[in-house]
Structure 1
């Protein structure tokens, strides 16, 4: 009788143990799929932030700055949930950011703009790290996407503000 109970117990353990392996594999596949779906166009559209675009004067000021144009395009793709640029090789991303900083037009080289540029750099590199690490929750990844968009928007705002201030300084007083 004891031998039958022991055999029944071993049989139950083996049958439950085999079933758990398949369930764990399915759960892992589901987790991977849900992480890929976490950053969607709909999720990004639902983010609350103020989006500043460049004025006509700002567009003219950065027209010859190729790296700015490329980053603006990539931010546009990011808003559509295309994260391939920010999810690629970190060395290439660092090289792009370094060239972005070097290419700053001389008339935009002011401390406020440089500080916003540093924020863009930091948020882009943080987004890359969050996207490439597996243990980062989806909410944090989405928050990092928002930080990149907001940093770039604030960078645009600072460029507009600087150019507007320059224009105001050129107006001479009639008195």
Structure 2
């Protein structure tokens, strides 16, 4: 009889503990849902990209540089409703920005453009990383969006500079001077054998 009574009290204690755990879990879930709504609201407000070309050079380049056009088209569509939509969008942006490095038009295949594209890739991939963390740092995401915008502007301005420089006519003899200054045409500096006689 004592055994049955002890089991009965034990079961009551376990059931009340489970009930308390359920209440705690529901309270934590509600708190997390409110936090997620706040994070979503902050990211939604800060998710504003410069998705159109800023100058005529950029417009012409977007027409010929297919990967850049696709990246801009991906920036135009803003995710809605959930954090998951922002996570999917960041993954898509990350894939599209990686393609920029593969087919840079020959006119812009220069170190200045490559470095800006690399920086843009880094920022977009960092955005993807931040949005896929368990605890999303919404303020860092907003800062990254503005940094990505700055990199897009920098890339487009550099393209404009390259186009403007190409319009400047070459003066007589300048091409020969440029060839002479080209270090790839210089005589290679081969190491000398210390055992060979030297003229001093």
Name the TM-score, length of structure 1 as normaliser.
0.70
The equivalent of 1:43 in structure 2 is 46
1:74–1:85: 8 Å Cα contact kept in structure 2? no
CA distance in 1 between counterparts of 2:79 and 2:169 reads 37
Cα deviation per residue 1:50-83 (whole Å; 9 max; x = unaligned)?
9994422332234121110011122333599984
The equivalent of 2:9 in structure 1 is none
The offset of 1:129, in angstroms, is: 0.4
The equivalent of 1:65 in structure 2 is 65
Among candidates 14, 23, 29, match of residue 27 of structure 2: 23
Instruction: Find the residue that maps to 2:135 and give its secondary structure.
Output: coil
CA distance in 2 between counterparts of 1:171 and 1:75 reads 39
Count of aligned residue pairs for this structure pair: 154
RMSD, aligned CA: 3.5
CA distance in 2 between counterparts of 1:161 and 1:116 reads 14
Structure 1: gaps spanning 5 or more residues = 1-9
C-alpha spacing 1:161/1:85, structure 2 compared with 1 (3 Å): farther
The offset of 1:133, in angstroms, is: 0.9
1:93 aligns with 2:97: no
The offset of 1:88, in angstroms, is: 2.9
CA distance in 2 between counterparts of 1:69 and 1:27 reads 41
CA distance in 1 between counterparts of 2:159 and 2:35 reads 41
Structure 2: gaps spanning 5 or more residues = 1-12, 173-200
1:1-175 correspondence runs (5 A): 19-40=23-44, 42-44=45-47, 53-77=53-77, 83=86, 86-88=89-91, 93-94=94-95, 96-167=96-167, 169-170=168-169
Structure with larger Rg: 2
1:123–1:148: 8 Å Cα contact kept in structure 2? yes
Name the TM-score, length of structure 2 as normaliser.
0.62
Return the structure number with greater relative CO, CA threshold 8 A, min gap 6: 1
